[in-house]
Amino acid sequence: MKSYRKELWFEVPTRRAFINITPQVNECLRESRIREGLVLCNAMHITASVFINDDEPGLHEDYKKWLEVLAPFDASPQRYSHNRTGEDNGDAHHKRQIMGREVVVAVTDGRLDFGPWEQIFYGEFDGRRPKRVLVKVIGD
């Protein structure tokens, strides 16, 4: 069994953003020389997500609005007890649960084994500082 590991770094200038990281994950897979196996791709921070969906700007706007309804930004400790710690990112910990921490993707014949529209996104909910995504590939 072979394994491969790489960290992808992001410093998003805004608090929230979705970034298509499929090209970077493809490059990792190429470097790994693994032909059959699994790729794990996860946010290493707990106010960010990795998820698979459509690369369509309207959808990303919809997600942002929707997450703001489900878990609105509010820096006060009244809505989010977490913000009593001095943080203002209680909302981001909730948004990340909706969008998920990680994806696992099959590797078949040296490629990400994707359906027609699947793309991997980094979902940032508390940006403006350097944060990481882990790409781990195992297989043969």
Q: Check residue 59 for interaction with its own copies (CB under 8 A).
A: yes
Q: Considering just the CA atoms, what is the radius of gyration of the chain in Å? A: 16
The correct pick among 1, 13, 14, 78 for binding its own copies (CB under 8 A) is 1
CA–CA separation, 63 vs 71, rounded Å? 12
In the chain, the amino acid numbered 2 is K
Q: Which range in 15-23, 24-32, 107-115 contacts its own copies by CB under 8 A?
A: 107-115
User: Nearest approach, Cβ of 111 to its own copies (angstroms)?
Assistant: 12
CA–CA separation, 111 vs 78, rounded Å? 48
> Helix and strand tally (H, E) in the chain?
3, 8
Q: Give the x/- contact pattern for its own copies in 4-43, rule: CB under 8 A.
A: -x------------------------------xxx-x-xx
